[in-house]
Copies of this chain bind each other. A is one copy, B any other.
């Protein structure tokens, strides 16, 4: 079995990565509220332990696929703030030269095959990446992130069947945050989600997605087993999104109560929880944590400023990258 991360450096990196996601989202939300961001975006805040716990079990070469709620995965897989904010603002220095935006942010350099604006749309891509890696024999693992709502897409069952038949090194990570858009999961998901994966002979787990150590421990284990050819696996991670479905979803009383939101934030916040544990174990002091927070927030602010000041792509880029061997498709 792979060794779970246990040393101070590892702990602090996980803590910092969770803080980085939270800081990124807070800035993104501000950009929206101050009308500086084009379009809409979906906040990952509250779910940090999932992305970080899992991505910390991966190498930069391992692949992930992400979702419409994808900033957390992107940060956790190693992306930097500046090109991320540039992407959100449609700037030329964005990871996708501004062509993708929040819903399509990808970071090839760190193995992030991209967010996806089709719910469930990346399930085939992740499974295909796993097929590639199995063929190439490079031992790489792919993690497919998706939400509870995405389990309603038939594509998932098709690709699970193939992943199971062919023993592909893929981990399906379902972030069950209790809602898909404005609807509670119980209203749109019959039976049991883990049983659905198990029915294909896939070993399945359901864990607390707010506990970064538990997530990381399981992920380390399953990644190692995938590398040995024991995949695929399924993990349901119980978590919660703090914001609305998207940044514009402000009045949400009609589908969930303020009390429920407050309770999750108070008692089950992944960052506070891990911070408290780190202190109680004597690994860091409260000052250390404050320093990390301050530093990360300053970074995020600087990156936002940089992105706001940076240039839009030139109009001539509009027909570039339609075909990979053709500079200007319409020239």
Contacts and interface: CB of A to CB of B under 8 A. Distances in A.
A191 B187 contact: no
Interface stretch (A74-82, A85-93, A197-205): A197-205
Nearest to A195: B199
A190 interface: yes
A164 to B, nearest CB: 4
B158 A153 contact: yes
Contact of A154 (B154, B188, B189): B154
Interface in A165-219: 165, 187-192, 195-196, 198-202
A190 B190 CA distance: 21
A11 B147 CA distance: 52
Contact of A200 (B158, B187, B190, B201): B190
B196 A157 contact: yes
A188 to B, nearest CB: 7
A188 B200 contact: no
Main secondary structure of the interface of A (DSSP, over half): helix
A292 interface: no
Contacts of A152: 158, 161
A199 B201 contact: no
A190 to B, nearest CB: 4
A155 interface: yes
A198 B199 CA distance: 8
Interface string A3-47: 000000000000000000000000000000000000000000000
A198 B191 contact: yes
Interface string A248-284: 0000000000000000000000000000000000000
A158 B189 CA distance: 10
Contacts of A188: 161, 165
Interface in A142-163: 152-158, 160-161
Contact of A201 (B153, B155, B191): B191
A201 B191 CA distance: 4
Contacts of A161: 152, 188-191
Contact of A156 (B154, B190, B198, B199): B154
Interface in A61-110: none
A153 B161 CA distance: 10
A194 B201 CA distance: 12
Given A195-B199, A196-B200, A158 B164 contact: no
Contacts of A198: 191, 195, 199
B202 A199 contact: no
Given A152-B158, A190-B201, 18 more contacts: A152-B161, A154-B155, A154-B156, A154-B157, A154-B158, A156-B157, A157-B157, A161-B188, A161-B191, A165-B188, A165-B189, A191-B199, A192-B199, A192-B201, A195-B195, A195-B198, A196-B196, A196-B200
13 contacts: A154-B156, A157-B196, A160-B190, A165-B190, A190-B200, A190-B202, A191-B198, A191-B200, A191-B201, A191-B202, A196-B196, A196-B199, A196-B200
- 4 cross-chain pairs, A with B, having the tightest CB-CB distances, nearest first: A154-B154, A164-B190, A191-B201, A195-B199
